Structure 1
């Protein structure tokens, strides 16, 4: 989800925007007049009306949700600092040496490879992401008229809603379009996506709309697309869809407000590190060569070539290819990646916060026991519980479904009709229905969490006797329910109140003076795979914390059964009064957070982030949405509430913790392959520049011609295209990995000079052994360094890709082996080819290749020694 919008739907002069004009005009109409204007009715629209309105208004989609046109994606591939640098260098070279197009053509080939492959990867990954997202469909409950004229309530995809549709809302729903309420019951809407305010606002039917005319978001009778229902129920008519909605009118604000992730910041920091290095070294090379050779024009072209060689133009391609490969690999495991960058964050995750129900447990709750307050089986408690679940119109959770499995009580329910209901919310943690049986009285039946229910009960029924609720009664009931909790059962208390029949609406104030009747005990057994998955996550350096709204004793019991060591546990009330500093001190030692409110869950996530952790959150309920939004990786499931799916970065099509472990490993492989390219390029570039500085200071000619540098760089870039398909060593996958620009700079300074040592030995070899010691023999010198430089840069791929001994303890994947071998062979053949002659190279004597083999073996041995020292000193490699 994006940050709250900076505008309030008005133009610079303060007038309502066109998208809001119709909404404001409809805000104060009577329901009948409104339906007449919209050509709708309480029974809904028919198929012909829906078809006509879809043709007129289009699908109910905000434009930002569509992937950009391919042409925009192609242009965006050029929007990279390294590509811009190359294009500028090509332009400068054309301007200064327009007679020779070879250099600009080589740069054009390099830019073309990077841009076209980056575009292809992004285009394919965006298409694949759209296809995957289509598997996760949000729906809305609407009333529509069938062909026989009868009205029916059905679920339709949100994108198919039209103006005039009659929509039913319940807790957990995303508001699917801009709506005007026709009727509402205790309706609270979270407008955080629009206003940034975390506190839900109450919405009401038209009679209450008169207050809020000055601010569209304050209109009590209007609900806006993208907001979500926290509690309550409502019936509403669609006023605006798609781009005409309030959300759609602010699409540009949404696009610009996206917050940078740690992945974005990491890529940016590395890019600027390399650009700063280039900005310093290129002028130094230019000045040294100009002063030494007294040919400033040639020195300028040489410096330009060095700049090209220092430019990691394949970085955007390597990054996109790795991320899209990871996303597609996860899709084969029935995981939808909504945002590619989440793949890397998945690998960096070191704390996973998860709800209990459906993740650690089977998500198949059964009603295990129904008891009176004396602990004996009670049919009356079951009957009242059934009536409560049967007649509520809000979001039926798994507990309700377990109660409704007792279909033998349907004849009892047939004797009642529903009068009103008081919907569930996460503050009261209970819900009530008011029923009538024709006997002149109303029956209020309430069920909910133990402590919350006991606080509103004034009476206790034991057997057939009804007695005042005493502290002794409360202690007895709490002891009984605690015992059930210790056995892994979740307990709800059922209470009733009989009232005289009346026509007024019932509210929370009526939940008072109730008679506690009994309790319902539910069992949600742990998953067989949960213990294995938690053990695997721990082995890979991911700590698991359970953050749930459920009972503490039940949660601890389930955690023990799945092998999660509960070092400590707290309840939401324990952290409510803590400031951030106190919470940060508490959170590391706590494994279970029980009876947590939505905002408390989000506070724990933010606390872990302040402590330096990369946090994943797995949840599927409306109460998980704030935590999903704040987590580094929000993970939800296809069966989750709409707001949970909207807040998440990753959607699991199956609730399976083992998939999380696979996602963590895939994320680490993705990140590892990106770091391979960055560290290979950074260290190789540093070594080359250092070698150039030494050669420029002592040689009477250029150590390599500008065109030769460009060809060498092009071949080296091609050799790295297979990196996204490489594997990672097991020890690298054993713990989370994060960006560290400082480590990249340190790595560059340590490993880069190793190649320079053997560049300098090659200089000596060509000068002393092969007599390439004068301007007349410079082509031989340049050919020798061209091959040694290309082969050492290509071998560095294998040296850096693993902390082990390459080729012996760790072998690269087939694509990496094949492509690097091909480039090595091609590089050695170039001096003997027409291309070599074109760019100023000459064939090398056979003895040179014996010396080359000795140089490369020595280079690999020294690099391996430096690798061991570096790992021992800094504890890391990639």
Structure 2
């Protein structure tokens, strides 16, 4: 990897060259490269990737699996067994370590590959000029432009940038129009940066301060540009500092809960091992045997399969969501689906059909007026920035002949791109007689703010406060009918090279553009489903409050008072905290205001999801716990999102909520089962050790029992989850785990001790092998069978999935078969007498019935189970 200094020096050198010298230095062409040239350079320079190689990722992944605290503890205990000469125990624990690490590595490897395949379905592309044929449209310098994945860019490529684009490589600007870039990823500065072509790096300044360069990892906020690629992959500024960049991923409540449970069980094991050692050592005097037994108990207390269960759960959820047209880029997002209790979304395309049509175009008196459409067409068709659905609706409304006539008459001279503070866009056009006209399109309030006159029947009349009020009221009446209303204004301007925002004053108001986007048929059902699952839907839009409120009511969202963007700015954090709780619809919002609403909801303790697809949604997506976008979104938004919807529909999110909660539920089954089982086993061990003249179970038997149980639990991610459990958001509660363990754990000890008494009567003190074999079978069967009582609040009335049933049957069969198998003698086991089996069946049945009774009381007392 090249150093930051060498990359900066190269970029500084390139900044001193004029455009012709730069193109010549890169052996390029102003119209771009040919396909042959691109392929040759791709072979020479490699793909435009900053990430480490796959082999290194495998090594890191395997190291992470081996560095798990569970594995480390097992290895330490395995070493103790080896040093004390327990070869059978050493082999068994080593097998457990290999199985745990191997399964986790394989599961994470498969999940990673699956996630890569899913991400590949939503590729990020750049608009590239290409000499020769085969492009999609005419563009940069008369060349043909095409869309190429970022990774295929090479030095010398000529690219086109516009608002919402991610900068795909380090590049030098050839032309730029009001270009503003966010390069906080590289510089750490949150303020946007103005860029312009031809400016050198200021003397003594960092190359990042160069106005003529855009860097990989930056985002175009507004404006347009053409640029030539000067560096790709490791030869970019980002590539040179990649090792120093740390992108901290904030833990979810689920992550924190799993980690807390893991360390709780580990600490419990570390405390209990010395206690078991002491009890057995003092009661029997054989400290070597006591140590082996205590270590074996410690191994049984370590939930080494927990990482495997969690990863398998998340991977299964991601695959299930992909079948629902939702691509999960990060597996951790599945967790937050289940925890989400507030969903913030834009209106367009989620609540509406996303088929915006220009319904009418009116003059200042509300009459049909063709000149309004013609001016709007010139504004939408000739601007070079990001064309949204409104622009498309305008251009589609003009028939082909009139469009050709307008484009033949008028030529684009300059433009003042849209930004979210002005909320308007202007183009300057020139006709065949060299007359220059500035045409502005934007929200009614913001366009009117720059108007001093209005055009009516070919006459320009001055605008006073009463006229301004009438024009705003007329727009509100149209908005109340569900129409999205924009205004169009014009102004004759003198010829000059560059036009600035200040020239959007003294405009003449021409008329209104009224757009219709009807509510989506599926939206009302999706809102009901989300609400039924405990997810509050809040709409945050830049649209008119009356339009937003009308659409929300039509899809079943209770509106109440609509809060405007300026009210968000006026509220301090304390006031906003209350405002976001009471409010369902936020209108006329900017990107910063959207992000602040999400931040306030999270500060109030909510798990917030955000669905957006525009440049103005990127900041809010980064603030949300769960960021969701669509495949057609702009680059920066797709990159910021954890989940990409191939179909923009709230119904898909409702399915995601269900999958997330199913993932959480199945993980909690394993955690609570393991915690309560371990606690009960330790109580039984301590009681038996205190009163029996021999070990209640041999160390190797404990290890084999634990191995069989762990393998049976690998089916848990594929279990069913009760519908009632899916109806409410699920978040981790540490107190709930401790309470569950303390209540359910001792129940197994009751029947363990009862069976100890039976075995003492049947076998006596002179047959420890029979006693140990009997407890081995009872302990294993009770652990795997009780899964079917604990796995559901409804108990046996809720059927387990076939993988869980099969895993249970295999574990039971293994437990019953081992005493009769050829390996029984090596495990210290003997064939159990037939007289023991009725007592075993009675103990298991009594245990299941008692747990069911206690569960009924527990649910009534604490109103929860898993």
- CA 1:797–1:458 in structure 2 vs 1: closer, same or farther (change >3 Å)? same
Matched, 1:272 2:272: no
Residue matched to 1:129: 115
RMSD: 1.8
After TM superposition, the structure 1 = structure 2 runs for residues 344-493 of structure 1, keeping only pairs within 5 Å, are 344-405=335-396, 406-408=398-400, 409-410=402-403, 411-493=405-487
Tell me how far apart the structure 2 counterparts of residues 356 and 523 of structure 1 sit (CA, whole Å).
Answer: 13
Q: What does residue 138 of structure 2 align with? A: none
Q: Do structure 1's residue 214 and structure 2's residue 205 form an aligned pair?
A: yes
How far apart are the structure 2 equivalents of 1:430 and 1:210?
A: 32
Q: Secondary structure of 1:715's match?
A: helix
d(CA) in 2 for partners of 1:189, 1:66: 32
* Equivalent-residue separation in structure 2 for 1:464 and 1:66 (angstroms): 68
| 1:797 aligns with one of 787, 792, 802 | 787
Q: Note the C-alpha offset of 1:150.
A: 7.3
Figure out how many residues of one structure are paired with residues of the other and give that number. Answer: 857
Does residue 618 (structure 1) correspond to residue 608 (structure 2)? The answer is no
Shift of 1:818: 1.4
Q: Tell me the equivalent position of 2:292.
A: 301
Which residue of 1 is the match for residue 186 of structure 2?
194
Normalised to the residue count of structure 2, the TM-score between the two structures is 0.97
Q: SS at 2:493's partner residue?
A: strand
Report Cα offsets for 1:147-168 as digits up to 9, x if no partner: 6997212222211111111111
Matches within 5 A, 1:196-275: 196-207=188-199, 209-211=200-202, 213-254=204-245, 257-275=248-266
- How many angstroms does 1:420 deviate by? 0.7
Aligned ranges for residues 559-570 of structure 1 at < 5 Å?
559-570=552-563
Q: What is the rounded CA distance, in whole Å, between the counterparts of 1:454 and 1:255 in structure 2?
A: 46
Q: Does 1:698 find its partner at 2:684?
A: no
Deviation for aligned residue 1:211: 3.5
Contact 2:201/2:209, CA 8 A, preserved across alignment = no
* 1:312 matches 2:303: yes
Distance between the aligned counterparts of 1:134 and 1:102, measured in 2? 47
Alpha-carbon deviations, 1:186-217, whole Å to 9, x = none? 1111123223443322111223x443742232
Secondary structure of 1:414's partner? helix
- 1:652-671 pair list within 5 angstroms: 652-671=645-664
Which residue of the partner structure matches residue 119 of structure 1? 105
Q: Determine the structure 1 residue equivalent to 2:838.
A: 850
- What is the CA-CA distance between 1:518 and the residue it aligns to? 0.4
How far does residue 535 in structure 1 lie from its aligned partner after superposition? 0.4
Which of 780, 784, 801 is equivalent to 1:813? 801
SS of the residue corresponding to residue 155 of structure 1 reads strand
Answer whether contact 1:163 1:238 (CA < 8 A) is retained: yes
Within the candidate set 30, 33, 53, 2:21 is matched to 33
- Alignment match, 2:126: 140
Please report how far the alpha carbon of residue 595 of structure 1 lies from its aligned counterpart in structure 2 after TM superposition.
1.1
| C-alpha distance after superposition, 1:508-567 (max 9, x if no partner) | 011110000101000011110000100000111111000111111111011011111113
User: Partners in 2 of 1:831 and 1:322 — Cα distance?
Assistant: 34
Q: What's the secondary structure of 1:844's corresponding residue?
A: coil
Identify which of 28, 46, 52 aligns with 2:34. 46
Within 2, Cα distance between the matches of 1:475 and 1:150? 47
Q: Does 1:181 align with 2:169?
A: no
Within 1, Cα distance between the matches of 2:2 and 2:445?
A: 47
Mapped partners of 2:52, 2:204: distance in 1: 29
SS at match of 1:836: coil
- Give per-residue Cα distances to partners, 1:260-283, cap 9 Å, x unaligned: 333332222121111111111111
Give 1:5's aligned residue: none
Moved more, 254-263 or 821-830: 254-263
1:118 Cα offset (Å): 1.5
Cα pair 2:133 2:144 within 8 Å, conserved: no
> How far, CA to CA, are the matches of 2:529 and 2:188 in structure 1?
38
Q: Could you tell me which runs of 5 or more consecutive residues in structure 2 were left unpaired when the two chains were aligned.
A: 135-140
CA distance in 1, matches of 2:511, 2:151: 45
Does residue 601 of structure 2 align to residue 608 of structure 1?
yes
State whether residues 628 and 643 of structure 2, in contact with CA within 8 Å, keep that contact through their aligned partners in structure 1.
yes
Compared with structure 1, are the counterparts of its residues 481 and 432 closer, same or farther at alpha carbon in structure 2 (3 Å cutoff)? same
Note if 1:85 corresponds to 2:85.
no
User: In the alignment, is the contact (CA less than 8 A) between 1:67 and 1:126 conserved in 2?
Assistant: no
1:419 aligned counterpart, secondary structure: strand
Greater Cα shift, 753-762 or 25-34? 25-34
The answer (yes or no) to whether the contact 2:488–2:510 under 8 Å persists in 1 is yes
Are the counterparts in 2 of residues 273 and 741 from structure 1 also a CA contact under 8 Å? no
The 8 Å contact of residues 2 and 235 in structure 2, kept in 1 or not, is answered as no
Judge conservation of contact 1:534–1:564 (CA < 8 Å) in 2. Answer: yes
Distance 1:870 1:217, change over 3 A: farther
Which of 748, 752, 760 is equivalent to 1:759? Answer: 752
1:370 touches 1:378 (CA, 8 Å); kept in 2? yes
Q: List gaps (5 residues or longer) in structure 1.
A: 1-8
Cα offset, 1:68, TM superposition:
5.4
TM-score (norm 1): 0.95
Please report how far the alpha carbon of residue 297 of structure 1 lies from its aligned counterpart in structure 2 after TM superposition.
0.7
| C-alpha displacement of 1:442 | 0.6
